Structure 1
Amino acid sequence: MKYFRKEIVLFVLIGFLSVSATCQEKTSSTTESDSKTVKKTKKKKKKYKLSKINLKHWSVTTPGLNAKGGAMNVEPPEILNYATDERLMPYMYNDSTDGSIVFYAFPNTTTANTKYSRSELREQMVPGDNNTNWTFEQGGVMKGKLAIEDVTKDAEGKYHRVIIMQIHGRLSNEQKELIGAKDNNAPPMLKIYWDNGKIRVKTKILKNKGASDDEILHEEAWDDDDGYNFPTEVGFRKFALEVRVEKGKMVIVLNNSEYAVYDSSDIIRWNVFENYFKAGNYFQSRDEGSFAKVKYYELEVVH
């Protein structure tokens, strides 16, 4: 009888120890699982990226309206606060997932000498001043890394075109008075398009190669060339563009590997004009409901 009782006591004791060990194992397993969950949660925490583009030497024109009902323009230093400026936030804003600045444009307002709207930067060599510009003889380089984020299609199913970079000509005040122009606008020597997934370059050529220096100051003295398409299709991928200018020569480089070189007499004669760089989203459509979004990851100008 005593032996039987000892067996019962021993059996109960073993059962208790087994249950206790199981509970400890489950507790340890649960704790380890919770720890892994916490670690996974920490790994998934998003990192917000801010743009590194220096806007100190840029003004911006947007589809927004100014007090006079025209296209809104914001210059330095106000443009430096674009991320919190309610006037600019709908048209120029940060994408914190990749550190880009997004330029959004749609048919709304137009600027002088155009029927299209834009969300586009204009170079200012002296912040807040449009009267200090450069000639081809002085030269300059503009580099950018960008992508088309979104763009609508026309009735035929073709994507709307967007001008993403420009070199715009400008008359000096003396030239303006000489030819009796109403403003300082001169033709754009260079327009770089995103055109249905390809990069297309358009430049100006003289209608009369023998025109005088005074005659070529008039916009009607110039015509558009036939244009050039880079072979590579960039589509909606990120790509690099570079524009190099010197006296008598202009070079456009795509992805550091494809080149378009212009060194004709038209480029040489262009030295009569002042110039400034432009970059962003100059949207080429008036279709109802159309729009485009252009992302700039990098943008730099050197003279």
Structure 2
Amino acid sequence: MKNFRKKIIASMVLILCITVSATSQNNESSTTDSDAKTEKKGKRKKYKLPDIDLSHWSVTTPELNDKGRATTIEPPEILNYGSDERLIPYMYNDSTDGGLVFYAYPSEGTTANTKYSRSELREQMEPGNNNVNWTFAQGGTLKGKLAVEDVTKDKNGKYHRVIIMQIHGRLTDEQRDLIGQKDNNAPPILKIYWDKGKIRVKTKVLKNPSLVGDVLLHEEAWDDDEGFNFEQEVGFRKFTLEVKVSEGKMVVVLNNSEYKVYENVHMRKWGVFENYFKAGNYFQSRDEGAFAKVKYYSLEVTH
């Protein structure tokens, strides 16, 4: 009888040990699996950055400076946009998808000859110097991948418009003095709009195509064309835009599949001006509470 009891007790102890061991192994396995999942999650958590070299760009924001005008930050200060309190609200990284966000809204911080505000980059071929620019004869290419992340609607329920790329003309100091103008501003030969989910292009044309000489330098000699709409609807998705200019010619390309070519007397005579590229968020509304956010994932200029 005693031997039988000893056998029963021994069996129970053995079962208990096996159970404890199995439970311990299961707990260990569960902990290991959990840790592995955590590690995997940790590995998947990557911070993406935009593919944009800002060393040849300045930026203008809706913020008022101490002179009561829009704030402009040039290289090398623009490279610190992630920590510059003047820029953080208007130009910042979205590290979840690698976009550089440009935020703009109606403010008193505007630039000359416009009522609209912007968070927009301005090309500087020589960092910190606006006096070095290029002509159509010298040529240039601007290419970007971007998306309109968010934009408000007007009282009629239509999305506000945003200019996302430009080529802006500029007078040299000699041209400015020749026509007696107080600044170096010349008209923009190209404006590319995000307009209700589509891409719209506007250029300048001469009011009188037979004009020649110094009269071409006057803004009054030029007018807006009727505009061109690409067929594709980009909506709030990513898309690519490329602008290629050469002597007497300008080509705008959407998503490497749709092209608009300008090769005419207006392009040839525009060769009198210097130019620079612009990219970002030039918001086209003064409505109260309106705003837009434009994301650039890449931006490249070549000359």
Q: Same fold (TM over 0.5)?
A: yes
1: CA distance, partners of 2:213 / 2:22: 91
- Root-mean-square deviation (CA), in Å? 0.9
Alignment deviations for residues 167-196 of structure 1 (CA, whole Å, 9 cap, x no partner): 000111111111111211000000001111
Q: Structure 1 vs Structure 2: percent identity of aligned residues? A: 67
Which residue of structure 2 lines up, in the alignment, with residue 11 of structure 1? 8
What is the 5 A alignment of 1:45-56?
45=42, 46-56=45-55
Q: Which moved further from structure 2: 64-73 or 40-49?
A: 40-49
What is the 5 A alignment of 1:63-212?
63-108=62-107, 109-212=109-212
2: CA distance, partners of 1:11 / 1:261: 95
5+ long unaligned stretches in structure 2? none
The residue type equivalent to 1:251 in the other structure is V
Which residue of structure 1 lines up, in the alignment, with residue 19 of structure 2? 22
Q: CA deviation at 1:93?
A: 0.9
The residue type equivalent to 2:88 in the other structure is M
Q: CA deviation at 1:5?
A: 2.5
Which residue of structure 2 lines up, in the alignment, with residue 36 of structure 1? 33
5+ long unaligned stretches in structure 1? none
Q: CA deviation at 1:244?
A: 0.3
Alignment deviations for residues 73-95 of structure 1 (CA, whole Å, 9 cap, x no partner): 11111111111111111111111
Structure 2 residue matching 1:242: 3-state secondary structure: strand
Which residue of structure 1 lines up, in the alignment, with residue 234 of structure 2? 234
The residue type equivalent to 1:61 in the other structure is T
Alignment deviations for residues 80-132 of structure 1 (CA, whole Å, 9 cap, x no partner): 11111111111111111122211110000211011100000000111111111
Q: CA deviation at 1:12?
A: 1.6
Alignment deviations for residues 269-298 of structure 1 (CA, whole Å, 9 cap, x no partner): 100000000000000000000001111110
Q: CA deviation at 1:49?
A: 2.2
Which residue of structure 2 lines up, in the alignment, with residue 62 of structure 1? 61
The yes-or-no answer on 1:222 pairing with 2:222 is yes
Q: CA deviation at 1:227?
A: 0.9
Q: CA deviation at 1:48?
A: 1.6
Which residue of structure 2 lines up, in the alignment, with residue 251 of structure 1? 251
Q: CA deviation at 1:6?
A: 2.1
Tell me the number of residue pairs that the alignment of Structure 1 and Structure 2 aligns: 300
Alignment deviations for residues 218-270 of structure 1 (CA, whole Å, 9 cap, x no partner): 11111111111111111111111100000011001111111111101101110
Structure 1 residue matching 2:55: 3-state secondary structure: coil
